Structure 1
Amino acid sequence: MAQEAPGYALGGLHHVQLAIPAGAEDRCREFWADVLGMTEVEKPPALRARGGCWFRAGGLEVHLGVEADFHPSRKAHPGILVTSIHALAQRLEANGADVTWDDNFPGYVRFHTFDKLGNRLEFLEPAPVD
């Protein structure tokens, strides 16, 4: 059980940020909006000049920020909770993504995949209770 630190409490994540190369915004839109069905969020005017794009769905926000010396994140990754994980896996595979199932996380059904830029993503759903 987590302990509350004196004077403050953590309230959850606002967003997760992944790196992308300059000029890759359209490829991000193809994956995050067209495949996953997330809604693109307009970036604040002061941040637009930096490039990148933001997406939101179901309480999750993903910020894709331009990194000059971009290297996809092959190990570090967001763990995204979903419902109907098998339907999501089918949608990803139908759109050319490789899905690798992993049953090594007790209590969850999960798989890993990569976005169109090679960033690793994990999707999980609580396992059915027998």
Structure 2
Amino acid sequence: MTKRATLVIMMMISTLGMYSFNKYNAEDAKTSFASFYHDKFNGRKTASGDIFSNSKMTAANRTLPFGTRLKVTNLRTGKSVEVEVNDRGPFHSSRALDLSKAAFKAIGNPARGTMPIEYEIIDND
């Protein structure tokens, strides 16, 4: 087989592979990392217009619609919490969610700063 034929086959395989990964299913669980909001954000408006409170069960995500309810599970402890997306962020490429401190504490140790998580959409009104 020539180099050109090998290259064409490799391109076809990679294109088909990318196509299969681009199918987004809201029911699929995703894994990533989560951090939590600093206390300085208490009382400030979120991107949705809500007033932020570290005592509520909320989260920020870059793309999910506001009001989306998520089940977030700490992959270290197996503990889960339900949160509502009401803000945009986090603005760190390796993290999918910024959790309120209450949500983070419910499933993890804030002294660590971040935790590996799995999250899935449970309600998308």
- After TM superposition, the score normalised by the length of structure 2 is 0.24
Greater Rg by CA:
2
With CA pairs under 8 Å and 6+ residues apart, which has the higher RCO, 1 or 2? Answer: 2
Greater percentage in helix: 2
